[in-house]
Amino acid sequence: MIEHGFQPVVLWTDACFFALFVAGIIGGVHAYRSPHLRRSWRRVGERPVGMAALVILVAFLVIGVLDSLHFRAALPPAVGQTEAIYATEVNSVLDMLMQRQRSNVERTYSAPLATHAYVKETVELPGGEQRRDFPRLKHGGAHLDDPVDDHASDIVARLVRGAAAGVVVSVAMGLLLGVLTGGLKQLIRGQTPLAWRAAWVTASIIALCAGMLVSLAQGYHIFGTDKVGQDVFYLTLKSVRTALMIGTLTTLVTLPLAIALGILAGYFGGWVDDAIQYLYTVLNSIPGVLLIAAAVLMMQVFIENHPEWFATAAERSDARLLALCIILGVTSWTGLCRLLRGETLKLRELEYVQAARAFGVPTVRILLRHVLPNLMHIVIIALVMDFSGLVLAEAVLSYVGIGVDPTMASFGTLINAARMELARDPMVWWSLVSAFVFMFVLVLAANLLADVVRDAFDPRGV
């Protein structure tokens, strides 16, 4: 009996990502239980900007999660085969959903929504003679019988269909939200306690765009194709996962280091403080990019010299991504650590901590029960603020050549590949524009959320 199925593959970054996801949920439950954290998060939800940014980030997160569920598909069974054999290629759920975009590879560049190639090629005419012309694309607009006349109307028809689907989804979401938040009228007037209307409007815009994109993607390369004919829209969506990984996994390293060392330095003082301060001054004094460059170069040597550790190409580039996150984390915990140290210094002198000490509460308990919870607002603010910076850093690092693996889709590699093409005439602009749009929306949402979170959590309350 042969099973046709798939074999789940958990890459290291997937494991870390989902671990972080679970930690986030536990943190969320904890925040829900503690009154003052809940109040702060409530303040985030009351601001329309906060809700809109959250919705956008959740949309990106969905793409990232879909792209993090990896598996190896079973190959079609051969005669006499008793066990399933799995493909060496590791795919994600997103790859499966975008099967069409992934496999429909053109020969080379083609413009967004084009039906014909971007460069002239020698084509054979029915009569046997040859002519230099723009050949039809193999997949983009291949369903059209008359690409010249039908092109525009087909695109419009698809847009309308997609938009209609988006509207339906939007109305459904509105009704559902209306029921959940107590009354459609309140929702539309924006009278709900949390800014649900902003969330709904944002979600509707996303649904509308997604509807049109999906409907167009069935027949065209929405953002064109790149040099080797890959669909740019697909590559851009793949980049989202890389950006999210860099932005979130780095905190797996920063947070423990910064919290542990910051609290230790602030609470114990003396030689512990001196040692920790020395450590972060040393790390701080090395210019960030250079330290990252040095570490990444050495990691490349290490990976190069141990090819036997990585079974597939995906595992290899994945290891590189994880290593990059760790390196970014090790080089960027110092700022938060210094903040936490300063705050702990203040907390240590407060009456309730003194009282706890006088009652003989064990030190570990004081740190966990009385100091750490009062540092959480700084941690949360730093967490959200760092995210956008890390996403931007990835692009620059990949440009310098010390970012993710060149074969891995990321905003940095997209920009890097597209940069060279600007010199061409006519210009190939679509990869850049598509990377720009997605990256801008992601970083903007993160920045806006960071602002709202800071306003809500900062006790100084500007």
Partner 1 sequence: MWAYLVRRLLYALPILIGVNLITFALFFVVNTPDDVARMQLGVKRVTPDAIERWKAERGYDKPLFFNAQAEGGEKLTDTIFFDKSVRMFALDFGAADDGRNISREIRQRMGPSLAIAVPTFVLGLFVTVSFALMLVFFRATALDFWGVVACVAMMSISSLFYIIGGQWLISKVWHLVPISGYDGGLDAPRFLALPVILGVLAGVGSSTRWYRTIFLEEISRDYVRTARAKGVSELVVLFRHVLKNAMIPILTGVVVVIPLLFMGSLIIESFFGIPGLGSYTIDAIQSQDFSVVRAMVFIGSVLYIIGLMLTDLSYTLVDPRVRFE
List residues binding partner 1 (CB under 8 A): 278-279, 281-287, 289-291, 293-295, 297-298, 300-302, 304-305, 307, 388, 392, 395-396, 399-402, 411, 415, 419, 422, 427, 432, 436, 439-440, 443-444, 447-448, 451, 462
Question: Which CB sits closer to partner 1, 156 or 437?
Answer: 437
Residue 244 · residue 445 · CB < 8 Å: no
- State whether residue 123 is helix, strand or coil: strand
- The distance in angstroms from the start CA to the end CA of the chain is 68
Q: CB of 314: closest distance to partner 1 in angstroms?
A: 20
Q: How far is the CB of 307 from partner 1 (least distance, A)?
A: 7
| Nearest residue (CB) to partner 1, 128 versus 287 | 287
Taking the complex as a whole, the smallest distance from the CB of residue 90 to partner 1 amounts, in Å, to 23
Q: What is the DSSP letter of 78?
A: P
Q: How far is the CB of 371 from partner 1 (least distance, A)?
A: 27
**Least CB distance from residue 429 to partner 1, whole Å?**
9
Distance separating alpha carbons of residues 409 and 235, to the nearest angstrom: 6
Q: Which long-range contacts (CB under 8 A, 24 or more apart) does 263-268 make?
A: 263/340, 263/341, 263/344, 263/367, 263/371, 263/372, 263/375, 265/337, 265/341, 265/344, 266/340, 266/341, 266/342, 266/343, 266/344, 266/345, 266/347, 266/348, 267/344, 267/348, 267/363, 267/367, 267/371
- Distance (Å, rounded) from C-alpha 427 to C-alpha 436? 16
Contact predicate 380/453, CB 8 Å: yes
Q: What minimum distance in Å lies between the beta carbon of 214 and partner 1?
A: 26
Q: How far is the CB of 294 from partner 1 (least distance, A)?
A: 5
Q: State the Cα–Cα distance between residues 412 and 3, nearest whole angstrom.
A: 40
Q: Which is nearer to partner 1, 134 or 399 (CB)?
A: 399
Instruction: Work out whether strand 121-124 and strand 6-9 pair parallel, antiparallel, or are unpaired.
Output: unpaired
Q: Bridge partners of 70?
A: 9, 92
Query: With respect to partner 1, which residue has the nearer C-beta, 373 or 401?
Result: 401
Which is nearer to partner 1, 35 or 287 (by Cβ)? 287
Q: Tell me the closest approach of the beta carbon of residue 256 to partner 1, in angstroms.
A: 20
Cβ nearer to partner 1, comparing 170 with 416: 416
Q: Which residues contact 293 (CB under 8 A, 6 or more apart)?
A: 400, 402
Nearer to partner 1, 237 or 442 (CB): 442
Nearer to partner 1, 187 or 323 (CB): 323
Q: By C-beta, is 134 or 429 nearer to partner 1?
A: 429
> Taking the complex as a whole, how short is the minimal distance between the CB of residue 305 and partner 1, in angstroms?
5
Closest C-alpha to 431, from 456, 413, 449, 407: 413
